[in-house]
Every structure is written in C-alpha cells, then in structure tokens.
Amino acid sequence: MLRQARALGPTFLIPLAWTFVGAAHLDVVTDRTLFIAHLVMAVLLAVFAVTGRSEMRDGVLRTWWFVIAVGFGATVFGAVGFRVGSAQAVLQGAALFGWMLLPAVGFLDTGRRSPNRPWLYVAAAVGCVAGAAVYAFGLLASDLGAQLAGIAVVGVGQTIGILDAAFLQQ
C-alpha cells in the first residue's frame, strides 16, 4: 500500500498544492494554515524520500529523488519564513520558486529517457519555467493576475507530467 501511495500520491498532491498556492495569493487561507501546510508537506516529503530511497537509486528515479530531497529543503525554508519575519519574503520566495523550477529538472530527465511521449515531459518542464517567469513578472509588476496565471501554468504543466508518469508510463 505504501508503494501505491508513493506512486499515486503526487497525482493528487501536486494540483492540490498549486491550488492552495493560488488560494493563498487570494488571501483565502491564513498564514497559520500555510505554516501548517508547509510542515505537513515537509513530513510527507521526508517520508517519501526515506521510504522510496531504496527504489530510487538509478536512472530517472534518482533524479526525482534529488528533486524531492532538495524540495524538502525548499519546503522547510518556506515554513521557517513564517517564523522569521525579517527573512520571510526571501525564504518563502525560495520555496515557491524552488517548487516551480525543481520539477523541470525531473521532467527534462524523464523526457530524455522516455520512449513514449518525451515531448510531454519537455512541455511540462517548459510550463514550469514559463510559469515561473510569468509569476516573476507579476511579482515585479505587482500584478496579481499575472502571478495567478504563472501559478496556473506551473500547476497545469506539473500535473500533466505527473499524470502521464503515474498512469500512462506504467
């Protein structure tokens, strides 16, 4: 059951996480809720990294293990950002941009190795980078619409990539 949860969990958690990020930008959730969500995510990532390590030592799974391990650090930065007021923007920005861009590495490696639909993984990686760029533009321009559009592009790209990896590549 743990193996199946590790295989299919991300297909639900990724779109949920990006929906949650969008909701946070709309002030639908409180900082306390976001702090708790970061802690829960950090625990899930740590459990995933530890329990999946033996199966993720080679090939593309090794790349994804690296994404998860570094993503754990990014998530912890985001959580700490809620408790360290002076560095909040930097730490939470590192977490957000980390999770926008880290999966692009995994998608590119998956696409490079995939005999089926490698273009889909390249498109997912492009979605990560393009969404991060749109978000950064929105941040610099104080344009909430552009920020939300960037989040949506990242979320859709990552969701498409993980759905293909979880269901269609098996």
Distances, alpha carbon 150 to alpha carbons 40, 93, 144, 165, 167, in Å: 24, 14, 10, 23, 26
Q: What is the average pLDDT score of the chain?
A: 90
Between 131 and 44, the more confident residue is 131
Query: What is the CA 50 to chain-centroid distance, rounded?
Result: 18
Q: Average of pLDDT values for 133-144?
A: 98
42, 40, 56: which is closest to 6 by C-alpha? 56
161, 80, 79: which is closest to 114 by C-alpha? 161
pLDDT computed for residue 170 by the predictor = 47
Between 170 and 23, the more confident residue is 23
Segments making up each domain of the chain, as ranges? 2-168
Residue 7 clears pLDDT 90, i.e. is over it: no
How many H helices and E strands in the chain?
6, 0
pLDDT computed for residue 163 by the predictor = 87
pLDDT in tens, 37-79: 999 999 999 998 998 888 888 888 899 999 999 999 999 999 9
What does the alpha-carbon distance between residue 153 and residue 147 come to, in Å, rounded to a whole number? 10
Q: What is the pTM of this model?
A: 0.90
pLDDT computed for residue 6 by the predictor = 55
